[in-house]
Amino acid sequence: MSEKAQKKSWFKGLSREFKKIMWPDKMTLAKQTAAVVTASVVLGAVIALIDFLVQNGVDILINLG
């Protein structure tokens, strides 16, 4: 099989695979986006709180010594 035929075959396969994709509807996409944004904000807040507590804990330990 020539290189040109291989490329053509590969693109045909790629095209067939893209047709199999089930894209979400707008409502599902909105719900999943909201879930990701909410989880990111909550996780960011938790990490910020832990960072704040550790920093203050280290400052207290340094000032005691």
Quick one: CA dihedral 54, 59, 64, 65, positive or negative? positive
Does a structural domain hold residue 29?
A: yes
pLDDT, one tens digit for every residue, the chain (65 residues): 677 788 789 999 999 999 999 999 999 999 999 999 999 999 999 999 999 999 999 999 898 86
**What residues make up the domain containing 40?**
23-65
Does a structural domain hold residue 34?
A: yes
Residue type for position 53: L
Does a structural domain hold residue 64?
A: yes
Does a structural domain hold residue 6?
A: no
Does a structural domain hold residue 7?
A: no
Does a structural domain hold residue 35?
A: yes
d(CA 25, CA 33): 12
Furthest-apart CA atoms within the chain: distance in Å = 77
Q: How far is CA 54 from CA 3, 45, 48, 60, 64, in A?
A: 59, 14, 10, 10, 15
pTM (predicted TM-score): 0.62
What pLDDT score was predicted for residue 65? 65
Does a structural domain hold residue 36?
A: yes
Query: How many domains, the chain?
Result: 1
Does a structural domain hold residue 65?
A: yes
